[in-house]
Every structure is written in structure tokens, then in C-alpha cells.
Amino acid sequence: MVRVGVLAGSGYIGGELLRLLLQHPEAEVAYATSRRYAGEYVFRVHPNLRGVTDLKFVPFDASKLAGSADVVFAALPHGESVKVVPQLADAGLRIVDLSADFRLGDSSQYPVWYGYDHPRPDLLGKFVLSIPELNREQVKGARLVASPGCTAITTILALAPLIRMKSLGVDTEHVVVDAKVGSSGSGGKPSLATHFSERFNVVRPYKPAGHRHAAEIEQVLSSVAGVRVRVSMSAHGVNMVRGILSTSHVFASGELKSIDIWKAYREAYSGSHFVRIVRDRQGPFRLPDPKLVIGSNFCDVGFEIEERTGRIVAFGATDNLIKGAAGNAIQSMNLMLGFDEKAGLAMAPLHPV
């Protein structure tokens, strides 16, 4: 059994890490930290875990916690993780970081997207940005891993096979990403904007321009494509709690043949249990829909072609807290430690829900 620690276990991603790790056949939760809830039972903060665990939150104390876990999951906010994680990394711990602080390979991008100078640019090269379906082998050998943002994972998995197809002639300068996101993606802190009466029934453009996940998406897709990819991204809050649908509109100058594109997806994900290709002729769910991945680590991908406008529409759907965050992080740990990639993550989605 590997001993895992969870930093910032009181947020929604922290709660999901705990829920999944507590049920993981190869892991035991050594500790979960929370500044605010130190001393409190975990189930007081995550009431779903009542009857599941008697763990209490502890304060973060690097020296005390150092020897008690083999792997640390850091679910700290952007800008906080970078203050804490370097010393843990220096101490030789395996780390899966879920903040943005170690996602970008180029330190010059931190002032641009996140407004701070990265104090440890040397570490950036040592962190692997993990999307196992794209860089499984790299993750297997890693000790330090960053897990991408939820809309980033969802979008990248939907677009990578397309972007890679040279024959399509994708216009990589004008990739439009229009994301629809459940409320849990914006965390657990109450505000007027998240007050139920104000948030119910909305389709709210909450980040129409300058979405930070665009940086990660561009980094990965540019690497995949071998040319610069520019992502024009807008995100909307919709009337649900869990789930993301990422819709990408891609213009292409080549011939758009359904069978070729289908093959590209099949080849890209043939060995990847957690990516399902959805493209049906009938039934209510012909293309990816977040409703069908809730509670699972699946990312559903699919596409449609519009010949008239030379456009491919690519869809990705995830449970933002699982494949979009905690699940992808645990999947990464499984690879790092040589476990079955699916360990602790094989639960099928709930339906209907």
C-alpha cells in the first residue's frame, strides 16, 4: 500500500481526491491538510464521506508530514502551490500537483497568464504535464507530475487526433473552444454569483476571453502538432454541478472524410480505456455529453463534419472533478508507481443522474 497525503483537502477537488483515494485498492490516505479545518473531521467538510472515513484534517507542516507519505497530491490554489511544493520536491517526495503552478514549461508565461514570476523555473522542466492518453510513457517514469486544468484535459483529448492529422490542413491559428462547465468547476466558496437563486438556470459567460487554460491547451497541442496552435477560448457556466462539454470549432482546408477522422481517433485512443469515442447514428446521446460520464474517469470524445463551411466540430466531455482533476491525478499516480492504470478508477458512470 502506498501512503498518500492530500494538501488542501477541503475544496471540491480535495474532496474528490479523498473520496477516490479512500477507495483505492493500493493506497491509504496518510493525511489530508486544511488550514481552515485542521482538527475537524473530514466528513464535516465533505458530508458525503460520513460513515466512510474518520480521518481528521491536519495543518500543513512540511517537517512533520515529510516521512508519513510516499506521494503527495497538492490541490492548493494557483500561486500557493508554488510556495509549498518545491521543498517537498526537493525532499524527494513523489508529487502530483493539481494547481497551474507547474503546468507551463516556459517560466516566462507565468507573469503573462498568472501574474507572478515563477520562483523555481528549474522545476518546470522536471514536472511532466500528465495526460496519460498522450504521454503515458513519460508519466510512468516521472516523480513530479502536474495535472492539467479540467477544461484543458477535456479539450486537448478532443482535439489532439485532429491537430495531428497533417492531411486535414487545420487552420491552427483559429481554433475556437467554447466550453460549458458545471458549477463545481468554480469551487466551494459562496458568493452572490454562486447564490443558488442567481446561479440556477443560467448560461453565464464567465471567462469569454483570456481563459488561463488556453495556455496549457496551446502548449500541448502545439507540441502535438509541431506548429504553433492558437486557441480562442470562451467558457460558460451552465445549470448543473458536475461536468464539462468542450466544443471546438476547427477550420480545415483539406478533404474532410469521416472515415479518416474516425480512424485517427481510434488509433489515438485504442489503448486508452478512459477515452471513449462517441459518434452514433441514433439515440439521444449521439455525441459526447457530460451527463454520461458523471461519476467516472471517462473522457468521451467525438466529432461532426460540416463540409459547407470546411469545419470540424470536436467534442470532449468529462466529469470535471474526476477525469478533469482528481481522477487524472490518480491515474497519473497509478502510472508513476506501476499500478494498473485503472486502479481505483474503474467505476462506471451513473445513469440516469
* Catalytic residue positions, numbered: 150
Long-range contacts at 162-167 (CB < 8 A, ≥ 24 apart): 162/250, 162/261, 162/264, 162/303, 162/312, 162/314, 163/221, 163/224, 163/225, 163/229, 164/224, 164/225, 164/264, 164/268, 165/260, 165/261, 165/264, 167/254, 167/255, 167/260
**Complex with its own copies: residue 92 or 192, whichever CB lies closer:** 192
161 scored as a contact of its own copies (CB under 8 A): no
Q: Distances from the Cα of 42 to the Cαs of 8, 66, 177, 227, 327, in angstroms? A: 12, 21, 37, 46, 19
Using CB under 8 A as the binding rule, the residues of this chain from 246 to 275 that contact its own copies are: 247, 249, 251, 273
188 scored as a contact of its own copies (CB under 8 A): yes
Q: Which of these ranges, 54-62, 68-76, 301-309, 336-344, lies near its own copies under the rule CB under 8 A? A: 301-309
Q: Which of these ranges, 103-111, 117-125, 170-178, 328-336, lies near its own copies under the rule CB under 8 A? A: 170-178
**Complex with its own copies: residue 259 or 348, whichever CB lies closer:** 348
* Least CB distance to its own copies at residue 84 (A): 26
Question: In 3-state terms, what secondary structure has residue 207?
Answer: strand
* Least CB distance to its own copies at residue 20 (A): 9
Q: Which of 135, 199, 222, 223 binds its own copies (CB under 8 A)?
A: 199
Residue 138 φ then ψ, to 5°: -60, -45
**Complex with its own copies: residue 11 or 148, whichever CB lies closer:** 11
State how far the Cα of 81 lies from the Cα of 327, in Å rounded to an integer.
19
168 scored as a contact of its own copies (CB under 8 A): no
* Least CB distance to its own copies at residue 262 (A): 15
- CB-based burial label for 150 (10 Å; 0-12, 13-18, 19+): buried
**Complex with its own copies: residue 140 or 199, whichever CB lies closer:** 199
343 scored as a contact of its own copies (CB under 8 A): no
CA 107 from chain centre, in angstroms, equals: 21
State how far the Cα of 14 lies from the Cα of 93, in Å rounded to an integer.
19
End-to-end CA distance of the chain: 33
Q: Which of 120, 140, 164, 240 binds its own copies (CB under 8 A)?
A: 240
**Complex with its own copies: residue 66 or 176, whichever CB lies closer:** 176
* Least CB distance to its own copies at residue 182 (A): 8
Using CB under 8 A as the binding rule, the residues of this chain from 10 to 49 that contact its own copies are: 12, 15, 19, 22-23, 44, 46-49
Q: How many CB atoms lie within 10 A of CB 114?
A: 19
